[in-house]
Structure formats: C-alpha cells, structure tokens
Amino acid sequence: MNMVGRTSAVSTRNASLAKTATERRDDSGPAAADLQASDLLAWYDRHRRVLPWRALRGEHADPYRVWLSEIMLQQTTVATVGPYFERFLARFPTVQALAGARLGDVLAAWAGLGYYSRARNLHACAKATVEKHGGQLPRREAELARLPGIGPYTAAAIAAIAFDEKAVPVDGNVERVLARLHRIEETLPGAKPALRQIARRLAEGVVATSRFGDFAQALMDLGATICRPRQPRCMLCPWHEACLARQHGDPESFPRKSARREGKLRRGAAFVLLRRDGAVLVRDRKEAGLLGGMTEVPGSDWSADFDEGAALSFAPRLSSEPCLAWRRLEGHVRHVFTHFPLELSVFVANASDMAGPPRGCRFLPRDEIASAAIPTLMRKVLAFAGALAGDDGAKSSIRQRRRARA
C-alpha cells in the first residue's frame, strides 16, 4: 500500500472508531451525545474542584491565569503546581509584567517545576502577546496555536476555558476517560486521533448550553478525581452505566499503552567550589537544550561512557589558586529526566574569600542560592555537598554519613 493509501486507511479507521464509540448507546446520534454532555455538566456543577486558577461559578475566567496554569500543569501535578502558581502570579501578575521581566527572573521563579523550556516559551509568548495582540491573549484556537509554547492541546484549553470557544482539549485525564468509556483497544499514542474525534462528537451536546469551558474542565475533573489511573471510583461516575470498560470489569486496563523504553543511564561529574564566605561557583547553561538558561555548578558532559578517571579534567581552575584540592564525595547524586536517568559524581573544593571566578562563571552568595534559577538536579548536588544556605546541620550529617576521598 502506498503512503497516500495508508494515510487514508488510518484516517478512515480513526473516524470509524470515533463514530462507533460515540453512537453505541443508541441510534439517535447527537441526542445520545447531548445526554452524555448533560450528565457530565450536572455532575460538574455539584463536584467541581476549587483551584487557584479556576473562576468560581458565575465568574468569567481570567485568560492569563488559564494560560499560566495550563503551561505549569504540563507534565506536573495539580498538588505541585498550586504553590508555584500563587508565587509566580504574585511576582508577575499580568502578561505585561511577565513580558517586561528578565528571563533570568522568570527562570528563578520557575525553578523546581522542571521542564524549563516551558518557562522560556512562557516568557517569549508573553512578549509576543504584548507586541502582536496588545497584551490580550487571542480567543481563537488557531491564533493561540501560533504563539510560542502553545501547542494544539493548550490552544484548545485556553480557547474553551478562558473564552468559551467550541474547543475540546484532550489531555491524559481525558484520554483515560474516553478510552475506558468506549473501551478503545488501540494503544496510545496511536489512539489519540480517534479519542480527539470522540471528544469533539461529545462536545456537540454542549451547543445548547454554550458551556464549552465547563465541559472541558468537567472532563478533566472526572479523570482526575473519579476515573483515576488506579482504583477508579466507577459507581460515582455520571457515565458509569454507559462505560464499556466498567461493564467488562477491566477499567484499569485502559487506555492501552505501548511498552515504554527507558533511556540508557548517563554519568558525569559536578564540581562544587566554595569560598570561605559561603559563596559557590556557578555558571549559566546555554539557552538551547536541556535546562537551557538555568544556573548550574561547573561540570562535565553527561554520557553513557563517562570516564570518571578523567573527571578532574573538567574541574574549574582559578588563576589565583591553581592548585585546588578537589575531594570526591562518596556516593552519587541521582536524577531522572524524561528520556534518561543521570548519575553524578560530586567533587568539592574550597577557595579563599578573595578568589575570583574563571571566565564564564561567577560566585553566587550563599544567601542568594534559594532565589536563583537553579534546577532541582543542581539543588540536589548543592545539598549533597552541604552548600545550601541554612543547612549547616545537613552538612555535618553528610560528612558523618560519607567520607571525602581524594
């Protein structure tokens, strides 16, 4: 089969899956979808979650809050995002404030949330919104998708929730609900097009009430609180009678997922150079790539074939103190990125108060470490070396637990 024929066959199959799944309750087409949407909206009116970024019933959603929360919630849980959202909003209360901020300040406010390209894109998107849209996020899904860092899902979420546009965002929670409701056998990510079509057909039942924002959030809440990955609370679900997975007694088997391949372990070295006044030597990573623009201690490249015997060749050198006494701390700092696990050996040395940094580095005062744009990995390294402000007790404990070796 040629490529055109194969693409046509896949599209036909996805359309068939969506049509059959949505209309399986009876032959009334849109009426069945309307009933399902009404059931879900009635449930949502009683059980909607109260979230820092969500408008209360009867209030208009704030597009800035919706956009910010959707970016923060990518790959991150609601429980984790809550405190970060509040602090970030207090520091950058408007699109204009965010657009006018230094990227370093934005990254510092984001530090700890991970996936730092989101923060860089958030900053770029704020600038584009001010420059091209007068500081107002566009309401149309297609216009939103043209802004930096806003993909199809986020564009649909903002359009629906902030502006009540007819759009259906399909995230992991929504995929789980729909895959179980219709018992979709195709594995993810291959099933995504069919699931999006099912969601669009369900949304047809919202037309009479024009509650696209509520419908989108209701689907999200249903997946987060009822149709959970483990131990779903099926009897509390407004769609439990119609759910095929519940009828077959295997909801936890859906959605079907392809086997996940784990990345190969990478290794490297990190060098913590402390002055007697507590300042630590740091540098900024390149803007592009993993942890782009974030602050780190100097270190080696990360690779699967890292040679620890040559680790000291990556150590920073001071012209004023050419013979630094580097000590390797026993053990490793471990961290897991999306595509690979990482293991770092940590070396520590001390310098005088008068020591100056090498080119491309700077000494960061100890009391500024907490507010700096330092990612979680590097905070682990600093904690391991006992270099965080206020952790003298931890530093003593670390020294008791492990021996420093030359």
Q: Which residue has the tokens 């989101």?
A: 118
* 259-262, long-range: CB < 8 A, 24+ apart: 262/340, 262/341
CA–CA dist 337, 405 (Å, integer): 28
> In 3D, which of 291, 254, 316, 311 has the Cα closest to residue 377?
291
Residue in 70, 141, 175, 296 annotated catalytic: 70
Please name the amino acid found at residue 194. A
**Nearby residues of 204 by Cβ (< 8 Å), 6 or more positions away:** 30, 33, 34, 37
The rounded distance, in Å, linking the Cα atoms of 394 and 385 is: 9
DSSP string, 262-309: PPPPEEEEEEEEEETTS-EEEEEPPSSSTTTT-EE--B---BTT--GG
Task: Tell me the backbone φ, ψ of residue 233, rounded to 5 degrees.
Answer: -95, 70
Quote the CA–CA distance of 364 and 348 in Å, as a whole number.
16
Give one DSSP letter per residue of 55-79, joined into a string. Answer: PPTTSPP-HHHHHHHHHHTTTS-HH
Catalytic site includes residue 165: no
From 153, 93, 145, 102, select the one nearest 123 (Cα to Cα).
102
CA angle 269, 272, 273 (to 5 degrees): 135
C-alpha span between 191 and 179 (Å, rounded): 9
Cβ neighbours for 52, distance < 8 A, ≥ 6 positions apart = 65, 69, 82, 85, 86, 89
Q: Which residues are catalytic?
A: 70
